[in-house]
Chains A and B, each alone.
Chain A
Amino acid sequence: MKPLQPLQSPGPRQTLQPLGPLGFFPGAPAAAPAREALGGKVSWGRPLLLVPILVLWVLVYGQLEDFSRVLAFQVLGLEPGSHLGQAVQFFAYDTPKVLLLLALVVFGVGVLRSFFTPARTRRILAGKRESVGNVLAALLGIVTPFCSCSAVPLFIGFVTAGVPLGVTFSFLISAPMVNEIAVVLLYGLLGWKVAAIYMGTGLLVAMGAGWVIGRMGMEEHIEDWVRHIRAGADDCSEGALDLAARVQFGLDAVRDILRRVWKWVVLGIAVGAAIHGYVPEGFMADVMGKGAWWSVPVAVLVGIPMYSNAAGIVPVVHALLEKGAALGTVLAFMMSVIALSLPEAIILRKVLKPRLIVTFFSVVGAGIVLVGYLFNLLF
């Protein structure tokens, strides 16, 4: 497509992207031009700076538990066995822990993401067979940069590039649901097993639901105008980013995501801490325990109209689990809240006819219910 050639800046296509201001702290001056990157010269200063930061990270992380005890029981003088003491210690331990983990993983994923632009993902998926495509799409959903309002343009881009409908859905399900924020928070608050289970089953739901939708042959339920759009031009070329640019990409991701989610994390952990300290054990067992067979579908149905990002929901999930709710039920609730939402349905309505939206929600909802039952059986 000639008319939409990406603009190349003067030099050959080396470092086109001086990716952002120096420093990654919110207060950093946005106007500071990254001059050294403009010249196309590899700058090693910043990547090397990461080493002492990493060492510091490890040192601080190791001290968090002791720090929280000292703060709660010595500085504040709370009774170790008391409700308030427990709640405060929980909060003082979990908040910095989760934020530190989040910073590290978001940085890593950010660097990884500099390799996977949406355009590249689209190229990889175009022309893939269904089954292979579903698996690949779900996996790419984790690493491709994605913001929820990008869902519709991306959908159009995929479909017009010849990515099969079912494969497109696998991507659209996995991208918001299986993300680094959800996994880090689950790991930080509930341990690596729950994080791995969530990630694994989230991918399975994305692959399975996408495959089923693909089988149903619902292509004619895409809005007509979408099918008439010509295949699009490629996005602006990222060129070959050098290491410094990729590191900058990661730092930008950390700044961007931490700035967006820190208040949710703090709020969520505060709610979690209150429940941890004050709500009696087994409180949720009757309603969300294994004994209540109906709790899985109800949890999914309740979760659909709700919308929250992973940062807000995980601490609540943590608290529910701790008070006796069953793992499968809680995971199903979390997936339903993150993956399916009313606002999403309204946005998707622009490109999908109602029947396909209903099908999409039903298939994904059913997949999540299955996952919920499976885990209630297994654990």
Chain B
Amino acid sequence: MEIQVLGPGCPKCHQTLKVVQEALAQAGVVAEVEKVTDFQAIASLGVFATPGVVMDGRVVCSGRVPTHAEVLGWLGK
């Protein structure tokens, strides 16, 4: 699985990354997590409100920090 966390580097974006990583660890899912900070790259993914989370090319969340439970839900756990 490929996960991208989108955000220029504000506290909310860092928090999103942390939530995603913790959820991955708990779910025991191995995934490649990439942090995308470039505005152009973020925009071309179709995300206009940061932070955003993209899983395997699909935007699952944007504009807010997801919760632990939400991320687990996206992972199918």
Contacts and interface: CB of A to CB of B under 8 A. Distances in A.
A118 B63 contact: yes
Contacts of A6: 58-60
Contact of B48 (A5, A18, A145, A156): A156
Interface hub of A18, A157, A235 (most chain B Cβ within 10 A): A235
Q: How big is the A interface, by class?
A: 35 or more
A31 interface: yes
Interface string B52-71: 10010111111110011110
A285 interface: no
B43 interface: yes
B47 A9 contact: no
Nearest to B6: A153
B10 interface: yes
Contacts of B72: 33
Main secondary structure, interface of B, reads mixed
Contacts of A153: 8, 39, 42-43, 47-50
Contacts, number: 117
Contacts of B52: 235
Nearest to A229: B43
Contact of A4 (B22, B40, B46, B64): B46
Q: How big is the B interface, by class?
A: 35 or more
B74 A156 contact: no
A251 interface: no
B43 to A, nearest CB: 5
A343 to B, nearest CB: 11
A38 interface: yes
B74 A150 contact: no
A21 B70 CA distance: 11
A34 B40 CA distance: 35
A122 interface: yes
A234 to B, nearest CB: 9
Given A150-B50, A153-B47, A145 B63 contact: yes
Nearest to A1: B46
A18 B47 CA distance: 22
A152 interface: yes
Interface hub of B7, B26, B49, B50 (most chain A Cβ within 10 A): B49
B67 to A, nearest CB: 5
B41 to A, nearest CB: 11
Interface in A4-37: 4-7, 9, 16-21, 30-31, 33-34
12 contacts: A3-B57, A7-B58, A7-B59, A9-B73, A18-B69, A30-B68, A33-B72, A118-B63, A153-B42, A153-B48, A153-B50, A235-B47
Interface of B: 7-13, 22, 26, 39-40, 42-50, 52, 55, 57-64, 67-70, 72-74
The 10 closest A-B pairs by CB, nearest first: A157-B48, A149-B10, A118-B49, A232-B46, A233-B46, A235-B62, A33-B69, A156-B43, A18-B69, A4-B46
Interface of A: 1, 3-7, 9, 16-21, 30-31, 33-34, 38, 117-119, 122, 145, 147-150, 152-154, 156-158, 160, 225-226, 229, 232-233, 235-236, 260, 347, 350-351
